[in-house]
Amino acid sequence: MVYAADEQRYEKLPYRRVSDSGLILPAVSFGLWRNLGDQMPLENSKKVILKAFDSGIFSFDNASNYGPSNGTAEETFGQVFRQDLKPYRDELVITTKAGYHMWPGPLGEFSGKKTLVAALDLSLQRMGLDYVDIFYAHRWDPNTRLEETARALDLIVKQGKALYVGVSNYNAEQTAAIAKIFETLGTPFIGNQVSYNMLNRTAESDGLLEVLDQNHAGLVAYGPLAEGLLTSKYLNDIPDDYPIHRTNAVLFENGKVDLIDKLNALNEIAQQRGQSLSQMALAWLLKDRRVASVVIGASNVAHLIDNLKFSDNLTFSGDELTTIESILSK
């Protein structure tokens, strides 16, 4: 059956401009890190991706190494794109990244020119695309001169393989340094994709939001639900084999019981707001206009639909914000 997108899709979800650029992102983007790769039946992945698009999510986030097996998330997205989404290419913001381990040998990771150029070529092939909308250097490279990374990203834009470039997992200082080079080169730098959620606020404390704002760029928040901690899943217990991302490991520093207490206190406020914890966690991030989009992951349609109800209540009273701060600062 030929897929036809829901005609009301742009009425369902807020979208926002990235700083004062021409790029507009849905408030929520959909990421394919480890939820729709080689371990999932294609039929399910297709359902989730198309449901996302029908719900107003027109940005899909990938990376060379996503899967779990390298490249398989991009292959999944590529299959759905070729079969169903191709007619909508001009509506879509498709993003990918390179820098984590992608192929054997020393050139299969980090941000040297050869690595970034080769990685993007492979990503384009896997997804069946001529270009991506944003190409990110996925992590800080301590050994490659920053100017080489910036020039490689600039070249990729000049070659027409990406419309905008970004960085990911750079701290405020690193972001300021590369933004300065981009400014000299005239490269369309659009933002930094970093871990940011109610429980992990490094993006606020290290000044990253200000640096991005000063550079006409936005923050794209990944892991907004802290890999599922900020949902109703872990209100009673967090299993010992819980797959925490390295950026959120610090959340366990006062022990599991303390974290579960915090989640329950947050959940209570969410309920008073008529929301689930995940819906409140998304709304909370989006109260800051410098957050251009939050990237969620889900492996089933039910989770996706549940989360998207966040937009029913986007405003926070002063009292709610104060209570949330007091819970989070305990």
- 305 touches 51 (CB < 8 A): yes
Task: Considering the complex, state which of residue 45 and residue 278 has its C-beta at the smaller distance from ligand NDP.
Answer: 278
Residue 231 touches ligand NDP, criterion: CB under 6 A: yes
Residue 77 touches ligand NDP, criterion: CB under 6 A: no
3-state secondary structure of 17: strand
The residue sitting closest to ligand NDP, measured at its beta carbon, is 31
Instruction: List the structure tokens of 131.
Output: 């270009």
Q: Taking the complex as a whole, how short is the minimal distance between the CB of residue 248 and ligand NDP, in angstroms?
A: 9
Residue 256 touches ligand NDP, criterion: CB under 6 A: no
Integer Cα distance of 243 and 320 in angstroms: 30
Segment interacting with ligand NDP (CB under 6 A) among 14-22, 28-36, 180-188, 254-262: 28-36
Per DSSP, the chain holds a count of helices (H) and strands (E) of: 11, 10
Alpha helices in 81-228 (DSSP H): 113-127, 146-158, 172-185, 202-205, 208-214
Q: Taking the complex as a whole, how short is the minimal distance between the CB of residue 203 and ligand NDP, in angstroms?
A: 12
Residue 51 touches ligand NDP, criterion: CB under 6 A: no
In the region spanning residues 203 to 222, those forming contacts with ligand NDP, defined by CB under 6 A, are: 222
**String marking each residue 100-139 x if it binds ligand NDP according to CB under 6 A:** --------------------------------------x-
Task: Match 């039929």 to its residue by tokens.
Answer: 43
Interface residue with ligand NDP among 27, 94, 208, 226 (CB under 6 A) is 226
Integer Cα distance of 106 and 99 in angstroms: 11
Interface residue with ligand NDP among 59, 111, 275, 278 (CB under 6 A) is 278
Integer Cα distance of 217 and 220 in angstroms: 10
